[in-house]
Each structure stands twice: as C-alpha cells, then as structure tokens.
C-alpha cells in the first residue's frame, strides 16, 4: 500500500497487523520517523483529523508542515490545480495527508504524487478511510472480538463519508449485521447496501431507532451536518429526529457501545458521557494510535 485513498485497499490480515501495531504503540513516543516530514493539506476545515495526524507524527519523532485553510491559500486563489499543488509539496515532505471537498480528489492526488497520499476525507459522499479504521479499531477493542457484531448506523447516512467507509471494512468479517436507522431523506446509498449483501452481511433498514436499541452491539451516531442540508426548516426537522438521551443509553444491552466521529451537535445528550456505553471520547485516543501505526507502516515501507 503506497497510497491510502479508500478502505477497500485493506484485507482482514492487513487490518489485524495495523491494529496490533496500534496497540503496541499505546503510551509510546519514539524516534522511528525521525527526519521524516508530514504535510497536512486541508482544503476543508478540520480539528480532530488534522491534529490527530500531526500529533501522531510528532510522537514518532517526525516533523510537520501544515496548510489548514487550503481553499484560501495563495496557490488556490491564483488558480493552481490540485495536481500542481501536489507536485510542489512532493519536494517538501515525505507523506501528504489531504482533505478535500471533491469526491475523487485523493485519487487525483495519488495519480501524480511520488510520495504517499493519505485521504483524510474527500467530499461528503466520498470516503474517510482513516476515520473508518479508527472506528473499527474502537469497536474491536471495546467489544474484544472481530466477528459476530451488530452495528446500527443512526442519523445522516446519505451525506456522511465515515459510515460509508466503515461499511466497506465490515464486509471483511463473519456473521456481521448492519441496521441503517434514518429518515427516508437521509438513507444510506444503494451501492453500500449492495456491497454488504454481496459480502454476506445481514442488512436491515428502519426509521425506528427504539426498535434496535436493545439489540445492537454498536450504536454509530452521526451528525446531521447543516452544511449539507440547504433548507433550514428541513435541517431542524432532521436534527431533532434521532437523539441518544441517557434513557436511550440505559436501555442498551450490557457491553454495547456508542461511537461517534464527532463533533456532536446535540444528537448525543451530555448526560450520556458518563454512561458505561459511551466510548466516543476514548475513540479519539484510539484514533491517534491507529494513525501512528499507519504513518509508521507507510513511511517505513518507503525506506
């Protein structure tokens, strides 16, 4: 794996190897990537993903250069193409982590880059592979198993790249079940459902979150995302439809977990935070470990 642009690149074996390394790196800081430079190119705003990658690189002894508001950069304002920007940054860094508003931007970057490209999110209906990796690592680490897991994706499934990306990883495991919980307007796209069924994943859809609360091993809550719904009235209606309250969390089965890619904007009540089911802040720490393991794997292979 030279570039990471989509989750379909992984096998079950490569996922296990990556996750084993992530666990080994917990609490560690070393100089294994000393002399290496990470460039974070973010054409969309980001907090967790950008800081997580930068922290991961620094903890491994590497250096970081960053462009946070890429759409407002000098090169963008002058009309430079993405391809030319990537060719330029190739001279400054050893790996590029890139977020972009256009679906397929990571593929375009990888096609011209001589150094590894890591997709940190491309378009609202594209992919966010490293988020999916940390989501899966969180699930497996918290549940302490890989197979036989029932995951309920809740809320905004149409305009959210993270559930799409995770779905492509779920198909690599056995006896998996997925329930998509959403309004008709925000249903998961058919290509993902077709993929899961083709890989023997049991797929259900419902508008009733209460019907699956006591059954699912994982509640994957999502943000409705106002930036992707143009009508304010429609946004408010969707935003209040699926809320995980403390009562909802308390009705989950023993050992079940709640995860969320964050930020949350009211879809998980603050009083859920101290529930034994709430792991979304631990999930952030797991993400750091996964990104450390990913950088170590990719950059060590470049030697």
Between CA 47 and CA 49 the distance in angstroms is 6
Of 12, 17, 48, 187, which is the active-site residue? 48
For residue 199, indicate whether it is catalytic: no
Longest Cα separation, the chain: 56
The one catalytic residue in 50, 59, 108, 128 is: 128
Neighbouring C-alpha atoms within 13 Å toward the C-beta of 282: 16
Q: Of these residues, 7, 49, 138, 179, which one is catalytic?
A: 49
For the question of residue 164 being annotated catalytic, the response is no
Assign residue 197 a region: left if phi > 0, alpha if psi is -120 to 50, beta otherwise? alpha
Name the residue with tokens 């256009």.
Answer: 102
Distance between CA atoms of 84 and 111, rounded to whole angstroms?
12
State yes or no: is 48 an active-site residue.
yes
Give the total residue count for the chain: 303
H or E stretch covering 53: helix 48-59
What is the sign of the dihedral through the CA atoms of 172, 176, 177 and 178? negative
The residues that bridge with 202 in the sheet, in sequence order, are: 177
Cα–Cα distance measured from residue 278 to residue 243, given in angstroms and rounded to the nearest whole number: 14
Alpha-carbon distance of 287 to 273, in angstroms, equals 18
Report how far apart the first and last C-alpha atoms of the chain are (Å, whole number).
14
What are 119's two structure tokens?
A: 């997709």
Catalytic site residue from 78, 114, 144, 198:
78
Would residue 78 show up in a list of annotated catalytic residues for this protein? Answer: yes
Residue 49 annotated in active site: yes
Q: Are 112 and 98 in contact (CB under 8 A)?
A: no
Query: Of these residues, 3, 6, 59, 99, which one is catalytic?
Result: 99
Catalytic residue annotation = 48-49, 78, 99, 128
């Amino acid at each position: 794996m030279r570039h990471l642009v989509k989750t379909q690149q992984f096998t079950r074996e490569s996922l296990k190897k990556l996750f084993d390394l992530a666990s080994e790196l917990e609490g560690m800081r070393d100089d294994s990537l000393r002399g290496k430079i990470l460039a974070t190119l973010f054409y969309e705003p980001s907090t967790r993903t950008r800081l997580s990658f930068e922290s991961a690189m620094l903890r491994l002894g590497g250096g970081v250069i960053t462009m946070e508001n890429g759409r407002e950069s000098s090169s963008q304002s002058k009309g430079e193409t993405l391809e030319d920007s990537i060719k330029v940054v190739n001279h400054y860094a050893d790996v590029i982590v890139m977020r972009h508003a256009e679906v397929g931007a990571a593929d375009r970057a990888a096609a011209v880059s001589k150094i590894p490209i890591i997709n940190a999110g491309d378009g609202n209906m594209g992919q966010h592979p490293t988020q999916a990796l940390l989501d899966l690592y969180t699930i497996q680490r918290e549940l302490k198993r890989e197979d036989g897991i029932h995951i309920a994706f809740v809320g905004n499934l149409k305009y959210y790249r993270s559930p799409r990306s995770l779905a492509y990883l779920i198909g690599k495991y056995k006896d998996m079940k997925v329930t998509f919980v959403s309004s008709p307007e925000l249903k998961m796209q058919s290509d993902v459902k077709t993929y899961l069924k083709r890989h023997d994943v049991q797929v259900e859809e419902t508008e009733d979150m209460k019907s699956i609360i006591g059954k699912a091993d994982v509640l994957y809550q999502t943000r409705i995302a106002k930036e992707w719904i143009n009508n304010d009235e429609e946004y408010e209606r969707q935003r209040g439809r699926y809320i995980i309250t403390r009562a909802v969390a308390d009705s989950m089965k023993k050992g079940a977990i709640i995860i969320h890619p964050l930020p949350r904007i009211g879809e998980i009540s603050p009083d859920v935070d101290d529930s034994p089911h709430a792991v979304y802040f631990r999930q952030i720490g797991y993400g750091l470990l996964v990104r450390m393991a990913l950088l170590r794997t990719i950059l060590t292979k470049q030697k």
